[in-house]
Every structure is written in C-alpha cells, then in structure tokens.
C-alpha cells in the first residue's frame, strides 16, 4: 500500500491537468487543454489539505474522467468474464473507491508546491480514438519522473483508461494483486478485500 500511495502521489498534478482539461472540450487536443488548465488546478490543490475538500476535488476535477469500467475490467483480467453483472459492478465500485481514497490520502500527506509539470506535444489525428499524453514531473532534489496517460475518446469525451509511471502501468500493477486474491478466495473474496481496504482508508 505504501508503494501505491507513492505512485498516486506522483500522479496528483499531471493527472488533474489531463482529466480536467479533457472534460472541458473533447474536440480540442488533450495536450493543448492540459497546458491551459495547469494554473487553475494547481491553485485548487494548494488551497487546502482538508480531506473532505480534497475528496470533492478528486471526485469533480480528477477521477470523474476515468473510464473505471475499462480500468477494472483490465485490472481483473480474464476473471472479469466469470463475474456476473452484480459482481462486475461491485468490483468497479470497489476499485473506484480505492483509487479515490488512495489519491486523497496521498494528496493530503504531500507537498506539491515545488513540483512542475511539462506536457509533451501529442500527435493526434482527427480520426484517432486513442491517445497517450506524455508528461514529465520535476521537483527540486529529485530525478524527473515520466508519466504517460492513456486515454480513449468516448461519447462523453476523453477518458483515462491507464496511467504509466516510468513504464509501470497502474492497471497491470493492480492486476497481479487482484489475480492473487481471486486465486485464493474467488471474485467475492476480491470484492470483500476491496471493501475492507476502503473502510481502512476511510478511517485514516
């Protein structure tokens, strides 16, 4: 869990830029929108460390533009097909809550005032439905970190379906632990584990 907190902490600034930008106008190139919204999102993050306010920020400006069904389906892997609709929804809700809670915990414990984010120009054709937005997070005294956002164009706009930090996929990282849990206790066991982890995070 400490690894995931660190990972999500690294995603805080550029992730917020990408998804809020995509929300505003899916017809405009994602990298262009990212550059125009950096100051707005950075200002909002700097204003408070209150967990309730950060949770609202995560819900409205960041995580609302994730394709959680696609992310959950990919993280669960082949076992997704074995789950019934109710189990699939429970897995999606549990995974979403886990990411929101982990994001808020990392954000409330971190200082982002010295971080800067460089958004790389993206090559996007009008017919493209998938794009990777590349960013570079820098902070004094630390090695720059490359973060890629894999996005798909949907009927409701651009959605993030995976985040890759220094070639480490968020979805693939979760897939390993999810498959291990399913192997031990089945799909219902994974659902229960997600529920328990979310209760623990909510209590911290």
pLDDT digit string (tens) for 7-30? 555 555 555 555 555 555 445 566
- Kindly tell me if the per-residue pLDDT of 88 is higher than 80: yes
- Look up residue 200 and give its two tokens: 């623990």
- Token pair 């971190």 is found at 110
- Kindly tell me if the per-residue pLDDT of 95 is higher than 80: yes
Q: pLDDT over 70 for what percent of the chain?
A: 70
Q: Note the pLDDT of residue 11.
A: 56
- Kindly tell me if the per-residue pLDDT of 69 is higher than 70: yes
CA-to-CA dists, residue 90 to 122, 126, 157, angstroms: 35, 36, 24
Tens digit of pLDDT for each residue in 133-177?
888 878 788 888 888 888 888 887 778 888 888 888 889 989 999
Q: Note the pLDDT of residue 13.
A: 52
For residues 104-111, average pLDDT:
62
- Cβ neighbours for 145, distance < 8 A, ≥ 6 positions apart: 10, 136, 137, 138, 165, 166
> Under DSSP, is residue 161 helix (H, G, I), strand (E, B) or coil?
strand
Q: Note the pLDDT of residue 162.
A: 87
pLDDT tier at 86 (50, 70, 90 boundaries)? very high
Average pLDDT score over the chain: 78
Query: What are the chain's domains?
Result: 2-203 (3.10.450.710)
For residues 93-105, average pLDDT:
84
Q: Note the pLDDT of residue 127.
A: 85
CB count, 10 Å around CB of 34?
Answer: 25
- Look up residue 97 and give its two tokens: 């809550």
- Kindly tell me if the per-residue pLDDT of 94 is higher than 80: yes
Q: How far apart are CA 39 and CA 115, in angstroms?
A: 12
User: What pTM was estimated for this model as a whole?
Assistant: 0.78
Q: Which of 116, 112, 100 is nearest to 51 (CA)?
A: 100
Higher pLDDT, 173 or 65: 173
- Look up residue 169 and give its two tokens: 């996929």
- Token pair 């960041």 is found at 62
Q: How far apart are CA 110 and CA 139, in angstroms?
A: 12
pLDDT tier at 108 (50, 70, 90 boundaries)? low
């Amino acid at each position: 869990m400490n690894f995931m907190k660190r990972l999500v902490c690294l995603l805080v600034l550029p992730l917020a830029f990408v998804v809020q930008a995509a929300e505003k106008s899916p017809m405009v190139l994602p990298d262009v929108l990212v550059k125009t919204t950096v100051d707005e999102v950075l200002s909002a993050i700097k204003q408070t460390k209150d967990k309730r306010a950060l949770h609202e920020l995560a819900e409205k400006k960041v995580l609302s533009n994730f394709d959680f069904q696609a992310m959950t389906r990919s993280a669960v892997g082949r076992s997704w097909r074995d789950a019934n609709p109710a189990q699939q929804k429970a897995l999606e809700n549990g995974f979403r809550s886990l990411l929101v809670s982990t994001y808020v915990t990392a954000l409330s414990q971190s200082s982002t005032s010295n971080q800067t984010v460089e958004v790389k120009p993206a090559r996007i054709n009008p017919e493209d439905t998938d794009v990777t937005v590349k960013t570079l997070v820098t902070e004094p005294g630390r090695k720059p970190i490359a973060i890629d956002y894999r996005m798909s164009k949907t009927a409701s706009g651009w959605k993030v379906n995976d985040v890759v930090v220094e070639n480490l996929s968020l979805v693939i990282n979760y897939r390993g632990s999810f498959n291990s849990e399913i192997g031990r206790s089945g799909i219902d066991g994974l659902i229960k584990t997600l529920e328990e982890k979310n209760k623990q995070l909510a209590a911290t």
